[in-house]
Copies of this chain bind each other. A is one copy, B any other.
């Protein structure tokens, strides 16, 4: 057994600091029991995202009968949210859960994995990961950070966000104080917005105090939980900046390599199951949350104007290509996604999209 397997939760701080971890009980070692920690970028059991991470841990622990037992920690409990990739990359934590674009400072290509403005929707993104060459490309990106990549959830198409200023033309983005991370934020910046990044927990007060004019978070289920309807006039759709959003589950490369093949397979299928599980939870709960937002809170739910979306789409292509331009791996990911999207769009247009239109007749 490796040193990692001896690390107990209680001894974690010492282990992180390089101290000697308390010994794992002898009977546990004899049975080949492994204990892993998962550090997440969300508060523990945060709706949809934290519960999605917990689902992966639950699947792995139950399916392995505790031979690989995973304990989940919220942001800041083991390491700060955005240090998760470093902690997992250097092996002080075995597993992490977050969103790829959080790691663009380490590996620029990571930001192209989570979501692309006007890019793939969830079903297409899954198709790219599992059957479109995506898994190998994502593994290549994460290997530069010492990790193995798994899709560990997907939000589905997000909402456009909560606004206290109307968006009637692209000019309305000028001077808009907007919270929007990722590539979408870069596009909004190019349209003239003042883009800020504020942690989720401070968003409501920032909106109430007028520090920001607008924000995007996830979708009806998560947004209702935060109470953004108390601070904003308009709830815009669609989330052009995040047509889907993969949540990533990353595992220390060495720790994963040292697992026996059956536990590797359990981790792999647990993440694959968690991917559809999270989208399902968010969709099911967003249905009823939207009904409440409309009915109980009389929220003004409105579409971005067609012309605004058209201009944002054109702008997105330019901004995204510019960002990818300086980095070979980013260009490789982007080229793969664009080729895949071209064929998928043609198919989705006559399958899911045509069906959704027919159903609405």
- Interface segment among A128-136, A161-169, A194-202: the answer is A128-136
Say yes or no: B266 contacts A272, CB within 8 Å: no
Q: A182 interface residue, CB < 8 Å from B?
A: no
B347 & A220 in contact (Cβ 8 Å cutoff): yes
* Chain B: minimal CB distance from A18 (Å): 34
The answer to whether the Cβ of A106 comes within 8 Å of any Cβ in the partner chain is no
Q: Collect the chain B residues with CB atoms within 8 Å of residue A118's CB.
A: 358-359
Nearest CB of B to A16, in Å: 31
Contact partner, A288, options B64, B310, B343, Cβ 8 Å = B343
Chain A window 294-332, contacts with chain B (Cβ cutoff 8 Å), 1 for yes, 0 for no: 100000010110100110010000000000000000000
A29 at the interface (CB under 8 A from B): no
Q: Which of B156, B237, B349 contacts A123 (CB 8 A)?
A: B156
Contact (Cβ within 8 A) B351 A156: yes
Does A350 contact B301, Cβ atoms closer than 8 Å? yes
Cβ of A13 < 8 Å from any Cβ of B? no
Indicate the member of A158, A239, A262 with the most B CB atoms within 10 Å: A262
- A104-140: which have CB < 8 Å to B? 118, 121-124, 126-132
Distance of A357 Cα from B240 Cα, bound (Å): 10
Check if B283 sits within 8 Å of A272, measured CB to CB. Answer: no
Known contacts being A121-B356, A352-B121, is A262 close to B131, with CB within 8 Å? no
Q: A123-B279, A131-B281 are in contact. Are A63 and B262 (CB under 8 A)?
A: yes
Q: Does A39 contact B (CB under 8 A)?
A: no
Say whether A59 faces chain B, with CB atoms less than 8 Å apart: yes
B-chain residues with CB within 8 Å of residue A275 when the two chains form the complex: 276
Question: What's the minimum C-beta distance from A129 to chain B, rounded to whole angstroms?
Answer: 7
Residues of B within 8 A of A286 (CB): 347, 351
Q: Count residues on chain A whose CB falls below 8 Å from chain B CBs.
A: 79
Say yes or no: is A22 at the interface (Cβ < 8 Å to chain B). no
- Min CB distance A351 to B, Å, is 4
Is A285 positioned at the interface, with any CB of B under 8 Å from its CB? yes
A348: chain B residues at CB < 8 Å are 283, 356
Assess whether A11 is interfacial by the CB under 8 Å rule: no
9 smallest beta-carbon distances between A and B, as pairs: A287-B343, A131-B284, A65-B262, A272-B273, A238-B354, A127-B283, A276-B276, A127-B284, A62-B265
Q: List 28 A-B contacts (CB under 8 A).
A: A59-B265, A62-B261, A63-B266, A64-B262, A118-B359, A122-B123, A122-B352, A123-B156, A123-B279, A123-B283, A124-B283, A126-B276, A126-B283, A127-B287, A128-B284, A156-B351, A157-B351, A158-B351, A159-B351, A219-B351, A237-B354, A240-B358, A287-B347, A309-B358, A309-B361, A310-B361, A349-B360, A356-B356
